[in-house]
Structure 1
Amino acid sequence: QRSTPGIFVRAGDLADLEVFGEGTTYYLREDGSDFRGISSAGDGTFVLGDHIGIGEEDETFLEGLDAKIVSVGPTSLHADHCIVLINNELDRREASTEMDEKIDEKETRQHEF
């Protein structure tokens, strides 16, 4: 079930999801590395728990996927806030890439004259 653009919610086990294997899996956890230090995450799958976290079985599953443990910052946040921050960062990266491409295109046209 789609909750908001790019966000899907459903009941079931984490291992039942079909998205694993399509890019890097990122596990959002308070003790993770800074997400902004990751060079490319647009193709990734992000997993996060609620205020309790995720279960031991799911932790083991993510370890088996070699999921990268990342954090959105040093402050404890609600899961929905983490989603907003991740989406914002990915949007900013995409916009930055598009802007760089426009600048390169403009410079190329200027050199053609």
Structure 2
Amino acid sequence: MITTTWVLGAGRANVVLDGYFASATAALTNVAAAANIPSSAVLGQDLLGTPVAFSPFTQTGVVGTAGTALTIFTVPLTALNRAFIRSDTLNLEIALTAAPLLQLPAAVYTGTLTLQAQAL
């Protein structure tokens, strides 16, 4: 569950939540096996947000590394939601359906998904 809270004055048009990885080629890594899962193979879905279907972390977001992001939601601001609390569920999936990802060893892979909201 992701909870995003904001209190904003006039002058901002949207609140945008982006998720991103530090590397497009190594979003998830197994050091012992010297194996990486790219951000393009990590998919995100938020039924209340922007990616209602599973989508890869391949966008260039407002923040983060180019080609590793996914916009989770964009909320247009109005007088009614300048102070707001929003809860989202981000579902994640790893798609290892194409070569060379099919040859990755079964192992524990780790990585950091950074979430950052911005008022724009």
Shorter-chain-normalised TM-score: which range? Answer: under 0.3
Which structure has the highest helix share of the two?
1
TM-score, normalised via structure 1 length: 0.23
Which structure has the highest strand share of the two?
2
Q: Which has the larger Rg? A: 1
Q: Which has the higher contact order (CA 8 A, sep 6+)?
A: 2
